[in-house]
Amino acid sequence: MSSLLVLNGSPRGSHSNSMCMMSPVIEGWKSSGAPEPEVLHLAQRGEFERAIEHFPAADTVLLGMPLYTDAMPALVKLYIEALAPYVESASQRDQKPTLGFLVQSGFEEALHSRPLEHYFEKLARRLGSPYAGTIVRGSGWSLPLMPENENRALVTHLRALGNQLARNRRFSEAELRVVAGTERFSPTAAAWLSLAFSSPAAIPNSHWDRALEKNNVWDRRYAAPYADALPT
């Protein structure tokens, strides 16, 4: 029976949205009869080291993370750079871990995470590993916040992906498309959202306005402390 190493790349560790989204994938993996995966949080120093050590012996690795400023968190980049020795040795080894990825973002549209997906496909090639695919999902915050019945369909599809990973070492394209949800807003929806965010009374801004007031920095909301450092 093949082994799975699950790596959580969120700096928020075990309470992160990334972990919340990977949990059903793990359940799906186990539902196939495959053994309990090892789960490591890269944000924990000791676990980060173990994640490097355990990488080459795993049959399958699932690396999940949030999207931070349209990229992977620095922690994940650091981890990938630590795998450099395996790039050199990839051609010499017969058995390479199959690599699967999960990227979840704050914004709803899946397209924000697509550049990372392309990067991961290339990374698997460079490491000489079979590529299982990348699970992409927007509105990652909703899974821990929304009631169970709102999340039921998503959780079911994430479990199905975990089961596919165990049985086929590959996510199905059809399941990945369903989990991705909104790929891109329609022009009409985009126009409405743009209006909502640009209006002075924008409802989406109220959360941030309250945080500014609570922290007594409302008067400094347009401060640009690094503006002078910009090249002219």
Ligand X SMILES: Cc1cc2nc3c(=O)[nH]c(=O)nc-3n(C[C@H](O)[C@H](O)[C@H](O)COP(=O)(O)O)c2cc1C
Where along the sequence are the contacts to ligand X (CB under 6 A)?
10, 12, 16-18, 66-70, 104-107, 112, 140-141
Smallest separation (angstroms) from ligand X to the CB of 16: 3
Pick between residue 141 and residue 185 the one whose CB is nearest to ligand X. 141
Smallest separation (angstroms) from ligand X to the CB of 65: 7
Pick between residue 127 and residue 136 the one whose CB is nearest to ligand X. 136
Pick between residue 119 and residue 141 the one whose CB is nearest to ligand X. 141
CA trace torsion 216, 218, 221, 225 (10° rounding): -30
Which residue sits closest to ligand X, CB atoms considered?
A: 106
Smallest separation (angstroms) from ligand X to the CB of 175: 21
Smallest separation (angstroms) from ligand X to the CB of 227: 20
Smallest separation (angstroms) from ligand X to the CB of 74: 10
Pick between residue 133 and residue 138 the one whose CB is nearest to ligand X. 138
Pick between residue 74 and residue 217 the one whose CB is nearest to ligand X. 74
